[in-house]
Amino acid sequence: MKVDFMRKVDFWIGVPLCLFLSIFVLLFRFFTAHKNLSSKNVLFIELPEMGSAVLVDPAMRKIRQKISANLFFVIFAKNKPSLQLLNTVADENIFCIRENSFFKMSLDMLRFLIWTRKNRIDTVIDLDLFQRITALLTILCGAKKRIGFHAFHNEGLYRGAFLTHKVSYNPHIHIAKNYIALVNAAMSEEQELPFSKEAISDGEIALEKMAIDDSQKTAMRDKIKALNPSYDDTKHKLLLINPNASELLIQRRWMPEYYTELIRMVLKTFPDVMVLITGAPAEREEAQALKDSVSSDRCINSAGELVFLELPVLYAVSHCMVTNDSGPGHFSAVTELPTFVIFGPETPKLYGSLGNSRPIYSNLACSPCVSASNHRKTPCIDNQCLKVIKPAEVFEIIQPSLVSDVIIRL
């Protein structure tokens, strides 16, 4: 389904359903005494964002370590591979909802009701900030303990009255710390209003690194050589370029002509560098257009050539990456790859990578223009926040990483 159609369904169907079910929840709560229940089978809900599945990993590991909880996750089917990067959640504990048609999504939600009861979900953590569908899944899963972000006195999107543990979303700290606040609320033995009154250190949001052996690296280098026989890993450094961003917010895409200019500058200055353009199969044509515009044998189109779980191996054999504010900026965080993320309508203060990353951000007065209160939908049709970031500026920032023969900590 198209993003705008999903937003309309979420509003016109989601709001009435949230209101209808909230009436029953409030009546039930009025006649039921509060009990501080334990958490054994914990379900996390995050549907559309692949990057969020990486950012929540420290929170999931914390609750598993502290209370030995069994972890479960529900996500859109196309985004499931992002959960498999670190394998924090067992594959059989991941429930996928197909989002490519309204009928399939509705059918999967009915299957979800059976799945959650089969797995005896007692605690649910809604990671989302604005979607009504995740709020509905929160109440429909049957968990007695329901944790999520609540607006309190702030203006925000109506998502019903389903939560037993209302956490105050903090727009001044990184989203990964907000996720930690959710699990802190789930583990709290005291009722708080609002949750969670605990300090969260930077160390708590450190990501695990993915183990990659030499045989995997050798196989990846062979794949790259198959794409371009002149590639020699003993002579060439690899610069990865990810020019894509999801359809959820196309304003995050840096201009294709800027990428062309940047790649030409790199290839002209560094004869030992090869540029590899990454992307999904559906993005291959766009990646090919970028390669053609560069007009160099040292520019490789790999879009659609690798499966998702091969990306960390690609990152492990590469020298650095330039990417839009999208999934790869987070996926690379499971390796030591220096990653330069170009931000526009969102801010790195809240959604920056947890890895060896440096944001490139213009910090205009209108940016960030998307938030939890506007359904991450901006009226902007002229993303100056990205247009003012020129290729020469990006080249100057990434140049030290291309000069060095070792991985640089950014």
Could you tell me if 193 and 276 lie in one domain? no
Sign of the torsion formed by the C-alpha atoms of 38, 40, 45 and 51 = positive
Residue 202: pLDDT over 60: yes
Could you tell me if 222 and 195 lie in one domain? no
- Position 17 scores a pLDDT of 80
Structural domain contains residue 409:
no
Structural domain contains residue 375:
yes
The residues that bridge with 75 in the sheet, in sequence order, are: 96
Polymer length in residues for the chain: 410
DSSP, residue by residue, 70-139: EEEEEEEGGGGGGGGTT--S-GGGEEEE--S-HHHHHHHHHHHHHHHHHTT--EEEE--SS-HHHHHHHH
User: Looking at 183, 205, 227, which one is the last position of a domain?
Assistant: 205
Structural domain contains residue 70:
yes
349 by Cβ neighbours in 10 Å (0-12 / 13-18 / 19+) ranks as middle
Could you tell me if 258 and 147 lie in one domain? no
Structural domain contains residue 69:
yes
Decide: 210 and 334 in contact? Cβ < 8 Å.
Answer: yes
Could you tell me if 187 and 260 lie in one domain? no
Alpha-carbon span 203 to 200, nearest angstrom: 8
- For residue 126, the domain's CATH number is 3.40.50.2000
Structural domain contains residue 101:
yes
Could you tell me if 200 and 223 lie in one domain? no
Could you tell me if 361 and 255 lie in one domain? yes
Decide: 62 and 180 in contact? Cβ < 8 Å.
Answer: yes
pLDDT (tens digit per residue) in 363-373: 999 988 887 66
Alpha-carbon span 222 to 280, nearest angstrom: 20
User: Looking at 205, 235, 268, which one is the last position of a domain?
Assistant: 205
The residues that bridge with 160 in the sheet, in sequence order, are: none
Task: Give me the numbers of helices (H) and strands (E) for the chain, helices first please.
Answer: 15, 12
Could you tell me if 155 and 226 lie in one domain? no
Structural domain that includes position 341 = 214-403
Could you tell me if 317 and 172 lie in one domain? no
Looking at the chain, the whole-number percentage of residues with pLDDT higher than 70 is 95
CA–centroid distance for 337 within its chain: 17
**CA neighbours closer than 13 Å in the CB half-sphere of residue 200:** 24
Domain count, the chain: 2
- Position 35 scores a pLDDT of 63
Could you tell me if 103 and 179 lie in one domain? yes
Q: Average pLDDT of the chain? A: 90
163 by Cβ neighbours in 10 Å (0-12 / 13-18 / 19+) ranks as buried
Could you tell me if 165 and 86 lie in one domain? yes
pLDDT band of 59, cuts 50, 70, 90: very high
- Position 236 scores a pLDDT of 95
pLDDT (tens digit per residue) in 238-266: 999 999 876 667 788 999 999 999 999 99
Structural domain contains residue 105:
yes
Looking at the chain, the whole-number percentage of residues with pLDDT higher than 90 is 66
Which positions ≥6 away from 201 have C-beta within 8 Å?
none
| 123-126/41-45 β-pairing | parallel
Structural domain contains residue 410:
no
Q: Report the alpha-carbon angle 397-302-293, nearest 5.
A: 65
Could you tell me if 138 and 220 lie in one domain? no
User: Looking at 177, 205, 233, which one is the last position of a domain?
Assistant: 205
Residue 303: pLDDT over 60: yes
Alpha-carbon span 175 to 183, nearest angstrom: 13
Could you tell me if 286 and 360 lie in one domain? yes
pTM surpassing 0.85?
Answer: yes
Structural domain contains residue 408:
no
